[in-house]
Amino acid sequence: MTETNATLRVEGVTKRFGDFTAVDDLSFEVLPGRIFGFLGPNGAGKTTTIRMIVGITVPDQGSITLFGERMSPHLQNRIGYLPEERGLYKKMKVIDQLRYFAALKGIGSAEADKRIDRWLERMNLSEWKKKKTTDLSKGMQQKIQFISTVLHDPDLLILDEPFSGLDPVNVEFMIEVMSEFKSDSKTIIFSTHLMETAERLCNDILLINKSKKVISGSLREVKQSYGDNLIAFRGTGGETVLADTTLISRVVTHADEQELHLAEGVDAQDVLKQMVRSGVVISKFEKTEPSLNDIFIESVGGSQQ
């Protein structure tokens, strides 16, 4: 891994629990001011990796550095961590809870109240300020947990499944808030198995499956590399060619066209020539960019059993 000004660098990290390897020789880096999607199916090792990054647990092998240093107490105030398991106190009022979290980060009471009021207003929760956690919906509780994560204005946000429990309207709202953080030159790492949301937000991605890295890089580069073997096709009389697995590994039928996944090593021009020779009437044949969900399915879909 080359030396850069990475906000986070993970090198050769392995974590075992007894005979089970949760994370296996994982290496990646996250650059400043970017949104980094940590992707994978449930149980892939995302949360274990995040727990090692924030110092909750330690790797059995490898190293992790944040802002060029090993994790230490003074770095904690530069990080905002939203865990997958939410940790609100059920019987406390929202305002008391947020004041408590602010105090843990060393924010004075007057400044804390200013920040709390600003964030409650931003999250459309001002009227719930004096309500107990048990009075809030799951989505509201998620927003309060997020506020507690960002009250101290961290340089790095680490969000484990931040959209869990949110309805579509609040997912859109959280996407907007996260984009604002990026505009302020903050670095964001978030884990999710929601590929469509990740595709909208991410500059860079890491996809892991069964504890190992499968794909990493900028979203643009990853999509371009997978787009070489994807064709959008519309036509008639192509059944024989489409069924030839030496040319086409998979066909996905949409409402008005078909998505052709070329077999490994096959060039699109070879398929086009075969269609012409076979008398296929073609109205559309063009290379297309895969969605992140397409890449996810192709990369890990067949290995989930």
Q: Which residues pair with 211 in a beta bridge?
A: none
Query: Where is the domain boundary, 187, 218, 249?
Result: 218
Q: Which residues pair with 40 in a beta bridge?
A: none
What is the DSSP track for 195-221?
HHHHHHH-SEEEEEETTEEEEEEEHHH
Q: Is the pLDDT of residue 113 over 70?
A: yes
Residues 212 and 288 in one domain: no
Q: Tell me, what's the pLDDT at 210?
A: 94
Q: Give the domain CATH number at 184.
A: 3.40.50.300
Domain that holds residue 285: 228-303
Query: Where is the domain boundary, 218, 251, 276?
Result: 218
pLDDT band at 305 (very low <50, low <70, confident <90, very high): very low
Residues 25 and 100 in one domain: yes
Query: Where is the domain boundary, 218, 240, 271?
Result: 218
pLDDT band at 303 (very low <50, low <70, confident <90, very high): low
Q: What is the count of structural domains for the chain?
A: 2
Token pair recorded at residue 248: 């086409």
Q: Is 258 exposed, middle or buried (0-12, 13-18, 19+ CB in 10 A)?
A: middle
Measured distance CA(64)–CA(244) in Å, rounded: 47
Q: Is the pLDDT of residue 257 over 50?
A: yes
Q: Tell me, what's the pLDDT at 165?
A: 79
Considering the domain boundaries, does residue 238 fall inside one?
yes
Residues 205 and 169 in one domain: yes
Give the pTM. Answer: 0.82
The greatest distance separating any two alpha carbons of the chain, rounded to the nearest whole angstrom, comes to 77
Q: What is the mean pLDDT of the chain?
A: 91
Considering the domain boundaries, does residue 294 fall inside one?
yes
**Backbone φ, ψ for residue 167 (5° rounding):** -80, 170
Measured distance CA(46)–CA(42) in Å, rounded: 8
Considering the domain boundaries, does residue 1 fall inside one?
no
Measured distance CA(305)–CA(302) in Å, rounded: 7
Q: Tell me, what's the pLDDT at 4?
A: 63
Residues 261 and 198 in one domain: no
Q: Tell me, what's the pLDDT at 192?
A: 87
Token pair recorded at residue 12: 């050769």
Residues 238 and 269 in one domain: yes
**Range in 9-13, 113-117, 265-269, 290-294 the model is least confident about:** 290-294
Question: Which candidate, 6, 238, 190, places its Cα nearest to that of 82?
Answer: 190
Q: At 78, which amino acid appears?
A: R
pLDDT tens digits, 43-74: 899 999 999 999 999 999 999 999 999 888 88
Q: Which helix (H) or strand (E) holds 22?
A: strand 20-30
Considering the domain boundaries, does residue 3 fall inside one?
no
- Please list, in sequence order, all residues whose beta carbon lies within 8 angstroms of the beta carbon of residue 196, skipping any fewer than 6 positions away: 291, 292, 293
Question: Which candidate, 78, 67, 77, places its Cα nearest to that of 5?
Answer: 67
Return the percentage of the chain with pLDDT > 90, whole number. 72
Contact (Cβ atoms closer than 8 angstroms) between residue 259 and residue 232: yes
Q: Tell me, what's the pLDDT at 302?
A: 53
Mean predicted confidence (pLDDT) in 234-249: 94
pLDDT tens digits, 200-241: 999 999 999 999 999 999 999 998 887 778 899 999 998 999
Q: Tell me, what's the pLDDT at 267?
A: 92
**Selected residue with higher pLDDT from 16 and 228:** 16
pLDDT tens digits, 133-186: 999 998 899 999 999 999 999 999 999 999 887 888 888 999 999 999 999 989
Residues 205 and 82 in one domain: yes
Q: Tell me, what's the pLDDT at 194?
A: 84
pLDDT tens digits, 67-96: 999 888 888 889 999 998 878 888 999 999
pLDDT band at 28 (very low <50, low <70, confident <90, very high): very high
Question: Which candidate, 153, 159, 160, places its Cα nearest to that of 186?
Answer: 153
